[in-house]
Amino acid sequence: MERLKVLVVDDESRMRKLVKDFLTRQDYQVLEAENGEAAVDLFFEKKDISLIILDVMMPKMDGWQTCREIRRYSKVPIIMLTAKSDEKDELLGFELGVDEYISKPFSPKILVARVEAILRRSNALDNSTVEIGGIVLDQAAHEVRIDNKSIELSVKEFELLTYFIVNKGVALSREKILNNVWNYDYFGDARTIDTHVKKLRSKMGEKGDFIKTIWGMGYKFEVEADE
């Protein structure tokens, strides 16, 4: 089986080597770039990169702009590394379609665990198709159709909708959603989930009403009886 490629983008060679060493031990093929411009060029040259680990503060093109450039053409999972722990930065990252957000300094073992969790979800989804209330969720194609019209979802929005559908009718706390969709304990407020739910509902149109808010707790996916 061909090794999955991970692109590590950081202007510090020491940081790139640290991450590369840990990922290589887990049998990933690691590519390196020292700035955003080089990362974008390498990403489009290789075309088969499975995940990007992206530093925010870099010369030539910072992590935010690099993320914007790649997101114009690809939904490849992105983990953003930053020395800042500013909530505004974190929310910006999620708005741009970042899948995980890790503040430096971090444990390389935790980073590897996050990489594996994301790749498991994005590459090893079973090949089933689920249909409910006019929504068709094709896990193999990573596609969602509503009333026969395809809708564009980010990787995280797709995973969130999948989790809601699999747990239809079940009241889900924000903590439970974070642990299962983001796959880690999130030490911040609930706006990460709320932001994603808001965008997901908007893209789903009328079907967005299936995602009910349970005030003070979280959400529940519920299809009306006549749907």
pLDDT tens digit sequence for 142-196: 789 998 899 999 888 998 999 898 888 889 988 888 877 876 545 545 678 899 9
Contact 2, 50 (CB under 8 A): no
Measured at the CA of 127, the angle between CA 125 and CA 132, to 5 degrees, comes to 95
Both tokens of 177, joined, read 């959603």
Average predicted confidence (pLDDT) for the chain = 84
CA 35 to chain centroid, in Å, comes to 22
Strands 49-55 and 5-9, bridge-based pairing: parallel
Query: For residue 160, how far is the Cα from the chain centroid?
Result: 10
**Residue 89: HSE in the Cβ half-sphere, 13 Å Cα cutoff:** 17
Between CA 108 and CA 136 the distance in angstroms is 38
Domains and CATH numbers, the chain: 5-123 (3.40.50.2300), 129-221 (1.10.10.10)
Handedness of CA 162, 164, 168, 170 (dihedral sign): positive
Task: Give the whole-angstrom CA distance, residue 140 versus residue 123.
Answer: 9
CA atoms of 69 and 165, how far apart (whole Å): 31
| CA dist., res. 104 & res. 60, Å (int) | 21
- What tens digit of pLDDT does each residue of 20-60 get? 999 999 889 999 999 999 999 999 998 789 999 999 888 88
Judge contact between 119 and 77, C-beta under 8 A.
Answer: yes
Q: How confident is the model at residue 84 (pLDDT cuts 50, 70, 90)?
A: low
User: What pLDDT score does 86 carry?
Assistant: 62
pLDDT grade for 124, boundaries at 50, 70 and 90? very low
Whether the CB-CB separation of 27 and 70 falls below 8 Å is answered with no
The pLDDT of residue 53: 96
pTM: 0.58
pLDDT digits (tens, 9 = 90+) for 209-224: 999 999 888 999 998 7
